[in-house]
Amino acid sequence: MKQLAVLTNEQMEQFEKEGYLIVKGVWNAEEVAEIQQTFDEIGESTVPGFFEPDLSEANQDPLRRYPRVMHPHRFNDVSKKYMLHPAVIQILEDLYGEEALAAQSMFYYKPPGSRGQALHQDNFYLKVEPGNCIAAWAAIDRCDEENGCMLLVPKTNTYEIVCPDESDSKESFTTHYVKPPKDEKPIAAVMEPGDILFFNGNLIHGSYRNKTKDRFRRSFISHYANVSATRISHWYNPLYRANGEALTLEGNPDGGPCGIETPAYH
């Protein structure tokens, strides 16, 4: 095994056994504030193709007003900086045992009253081969069961990628649902600002509805591939090395954005 740079053997064992790992305080308060301010500003206007909110007074859906921002690193330098943050890359290289390539960034506002996301598997969409994608899910607000924190189904990192069923559109803004195995129950990933959750692309996960009246559950998420991968869904090209160098992998058929949104959402 390659010598670990930042993680402990215990952390590696948890990731390999459970399929996920929360690393506390990866980003400090100033870094979290920079991301929050950046997306507060982005949230006030439209960025065609990346962030298209419904700003009309008639809109009653909080997720129409604050949809997720897709691939912000493609138009925003702060997003690209945090997608390639050295502390994140170091953790990923320990988890992979090799160089990590950045494939995607997203920002979720998760405003009060908004729906969650049904249980799903990320590599159903990214289609990284050979190897797997790993997500780095960074909390910008405190994330708990009331404001819609992440739900993780432990040990499903060894579960095959399955064809999803249809989700309940009243509770999920995405259409796909993957039923977890009977012997594993979803657990809540309670996190503080600056904590980052890393998880395997086969791990079944989702999120609760935001039941609060006054708390957002903002998060900055990036997805990565191992450098030995040769294929990924074309949606994620180009990928980036830690130094910002862009490269393109062979396009893997199908795939798409992480979670297809419900028709009612558009």
Say if residue 2's pLDDT is above 90. Answer: no
If you average pLDDT over residues 234-253, what whole number do you get?
97
If you average pLDDT over residues 246-260, what whole number do you get?
84
pLDDT of residue 49: 95
Q: What are phi and psi of 263, to 5 degrees?
A: -55, -35
Tens of pLDDT, residue by residue over 38-67, are: 999 999 999 999 999 999 988 889 999 999
Tell me the DSSP string of 41-84.
HHTTS-BTTTB-----TT---HHHHSPPEE-GGGT-HHHHHHHT
Say if residue 264's pLDDT is above 50. Answer: no
Average pLDDT of the chain is 94
- The H or E element spanning position 139 is strand 133-139
Q: Is the domain covering 9-265 a CATH 2.60.120.620 domain?
A: yes
- The H or E element spanning position 14 is helix 9-18
Say if residue 265's pLDDT is above 60. Answer: no
Measure the CA–CA gap between 196 and 148, rounded to whole angstroms.
Answer: 16
To the nearest whole percent, how much of the chain has pLDDT over 90?
A: 85
The domain spans of the chain are 9-265
Q: Decide which of 115 and 170 is more confident.
A: 115
Q: Decide which of 191 and 182 is more confident.
A: 191
Measure the CA–CA gap between 95 and 11, rounded to whole angstroms.
Answer: 9
Tens of pLDDT, residue by residue over 136-145, are: 999 999 999 9
For residue 183, name the pLDDT band (cuts at 50, 70, 90).
Answer: confident
For residue 126, name the pLDDT band (cuts at 50, 70, 90).
Answer: very high
pTM: 0.95
